[in-house]
Homo-oligomer: A and B are copies of this chain.
Amino acid sequence: MEAISDGVFAVAMTLLVLDLAIPFASGSRDLIGALADEWPGYLGFLVSFATIGAIWLGHNTMTEYLDHVDPAILRLNLLLLFFVCLLPFATGLLAEFFKTDGAERVASVTYGIMLLLCSVLLSAVWRYAVGAKLVSPDLDDDEISLLTTRLTPGLGGYALLIVLGAFFPKVSIFGYLAVAVFLLLPFRPTLSRRAVRERRSRRRSAG
């Protein structure tokens, strides 16, 4: 499960670059201007990369704490990967239509829904793992609820931004960037992995 997920994350991150528009038609001296005109597309690339990065960080922590997998979690994980694979497409819509007034709103709302679905599914995989007792028995309840909090998507934030995107599509992209930065910043309390490892080995030698 980890190998295919890491593969999909890596490829999806790198495929995003294909959405970066090269302004083919730009004349001889105005490439800087042409590139600057494409800024919402480049901003979308940054947001998508940061969001996939944040999902990967959460996924990585999660798989480290899993003891074993069952058929259902493998399928839930596939569903998560499905929406991660769609992110380059949604980013492409954004990059293509940010100049067209009505279409830009559709693209921004679509993009927000994709980001939301990725977050919801990452959380669903973890919650299923906890419910089905797939997590490592070394983790105590405090640690599990800490990670559950960390992996809970900012549902309210995304819903607000999706609505905002219907009216001010360009502003909403900055909102999505803020969410991604918030997810990436390690300012919430986290268990250091080393601490977990040390505790585990203490328990083992004690047992």
Known: A68-B193, A71-B190, A193-B69. A3 touches B4 (CB 8 A): no
Known: A14-B15, A78-B184, A192-B70. A56 touches B4 (CB 8 A): yes
State whether the Cβ of A176 lies closer than 8 Å to any Cβ in chain B. no
A115 to chain B, nearest CB (A): 15
- Number of copies of this chain in the oligomer? 4
Instruction: Check B13–A8 contact: CB distance below 8 A.
Output: yes
Instruction: Check A14–B8 contact: CB distance below 8 A.
Output: yes
| Further contacts, 11 of them, CB under 8 A, given A4-B10, A17-B88, A53-B78 | A3-B6, A4-B9, A8-B10, A11-B11, A11-B15, A15-B18, A22-B92, A29-B101, A31-B102, A53-B82, A57-B78
Which residues in A have some Cβ–Cβ distance to B below 8 Å? 1-4, 6-18, 20, 22, 24, 26-32, 35, 46, 49, 53, 56-57, 60, 68-72, 74-75, 78, 81-82, 85-86, 88-89, 92-93, 96-97, 100-103, 106-107, 110, 184, 186, 190, 192-194, 197
A-B contact pairs, 23 of them (CB 8 A): A3-B6, A4-B10, A4-B60, A7-B9, A7-B11, A8-B10, A8-B14, A11-B11, A15-B15, A17-B85, A20-B89, A22-B92, A22-B96, A28-B100, A29-B103, A31-B100, A31-B102, A31-B106, A46-B82, A53-B82, A68-B193, A68-B194, A69-B193
